[in-house]
């Protein structure tokens, strides 16, 4: 899925990196278990 990095709907930081997401649900899933996605 493409996400606009200039104006993402949701984003978070993890280990010094910024991750962008299509919405809050995907962001929450990532934050619960980031190792699964990185």
Q: What is the DSSP string of the chain?
A: ----TTS-SEEEEETTEEEEESSHHHHHHHHH-HHHH-
Domain boundaries in the chain? 7-37
Query: Could you tell me the two tokens for 16?
Result: 């010094």
Contact indicator for 10, 28 with CB cutoff of 8 Å: no
Give me the pLDDT at residue 38, please: 92
Q: Give the C-alpha separation, 34 to 25, whole Å.
A: 14
Give me the pLDDT at residue 2, please: 86
Give me the pLDDT at residue 4, please: 87
Give me the pLDDT at residue 1, please: 78
| pTM across the whole model | 0.82
Q: What is the pLDDT of residues 3-36, one digit of tens each?
A: 888 899 999 999 999 999 999 999 999 999 999 9
């Amino acid at each position: 899925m493409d996400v606009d990095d200039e104006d993402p709907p949701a984003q978070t930081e993890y280990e010094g990196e910024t991750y962008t997401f299509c919405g809050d649900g995907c962001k929450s899933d990532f934050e619960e278990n980031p190792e699964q996605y990185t």
